[in-house]
Amino acid sequence: MSIISQVIFTVILGIFVFFIAKRVNFIRLNIALGRPQKVVGNKRQRWKNVLLIALGQKKMFKKPVPAVLHLLIYVGFVLINIEVLEIILDGFLGSHRIFASLLSDFYAPLISFFEILAIGVIFSCVLFLLRRNVMQVSRFQKPEMEGWASLDGNLILVIEIILMGAILSMNAADQLLQEMGNVAYPMTGSFLVSSWLMPIFDGYAPSTLLIIERMAWWFHIVGIFSFALYVTYSKHLHIFMAFPNTYFSKLTPKGAMEPMTEITSEVKMMLGIPLEGEMPPPAEGLQIWGT
């Protein structure tokens, strides 16, 4: 990667970091409008809730099929984006697959595992698109799911499919360039899924393959940055907000009511029960001795 590319990458990253940070601060200020409340209770239980509900998506398993599909997308997208760290470092340093030399023989199996997850994400997203738009599932036909809610859900699914496709295309072109002996593309070993796509790009000139690989690389990383910014406007922000929400949620049983002093006082007054600090009224017919 040339110095010009490094500068362009750094500028693009800086722009997205600025706008994402601005959105996060806007969301933080909106949350801060709420009344301060002291968090009490078992911290261990709170962290357990975070692991089971926010990270483990426990509530989704009430319906097995959507639960498994959601899990594939959730786990796949989170783990695959570990690769984003390598891409960001490559963008900054002008390197290519910087982790390949560090991980050595473990690099190809790791990328292959990410590619398997990418296929799982694509498969799940396609099924969810069919559920939303073809199968006429009743939940998606309700009034609250019309308009922006429907468009937003479809956009998220399509974006995820495109981003996964970009990863696989990038890896397929990369492997062909490795086989051609391009010094900028060190040998990493075969990647399980993208190696199946290599025949699609076979026969292209090295210069064309280089353009395909670089375009897929840029499309993927800029797509990830754009997706991160878009999510701050999307209903899917709840995926990230689930972590603080579950930690700070009440630990008392559902439906349990906290004491309401105002209502308690009103009820006591109606029943003639003295309030705290008040003397009880004299009983009717009570005569004081000597009067």
Cα–Cα distance for residue pair 223/68, rounded to 1 Å: 25
Q: Which two tokens stand for residue 268?
A: 């006591």
Nearest to 175 by CA among 216, 138, 225, 145: 216
In this prediction, residue 211 carries a pLDDT of 94
Where is pLDDT greater, at 53 or 118? Answer: 118
Tell me if 56 is assigned to some domain: no
Tell me if 120 is assigned to some domain: yes
Nearest to 96 by CA among 191, 184, 221: 184
Tell me if 44 is assigned to some domain: no
Q: With 60 as the cut, is the pLDDT of residue 290 above it?
A: no
Total domains, the chain: 1
Contacts of 126 (CB under 8 A, 6+ apart): 161
Tell me if 39 is assigned to some domain: no
Q: Which two tokens stand for residue 34?
A: 């709420």
Give ∠ CA 125-127-131 in degrees, rounded to 5: 115
Identity of the highest mean pLDDT range in 34-43, 76-85, 98-107, 130-139: 98-107
Tell me if 291 is assigned to some domain: no
Q: Which two tokens stand for residue 111?
A: 């990328």
User: pTM of this prediction?
Assistant: 0.75
Report, as an integer, the average pLDDT of 83-110: 90
Are the CB atoms for 80 and 114 separated by under 8 Å?
yes
Q: Which domain holds residue 81?
A: 3-32+62-232
Cα–Cα distance for residue pair 127/138, rounded to 1 Å: 16
Where is pLDDT greater, at 87 or 241? Answer: 87
Position of tokens 């990667």?
A: 1
Tell me if 38 is assigned to some domain: no
Tell me if 269 is assigned to some domain: no
Tell me if 55 is assigned to some domain: no
pLDDT digits (tens, 9 = 90+) for 163-219: 999 999 999 999 999 999 888 898 998 999 999 999 999 888 999 999 999 999 999
User: How confident is residue 291, by pLDDT bands cut at 50, 70 and 90?
Assistant: very low
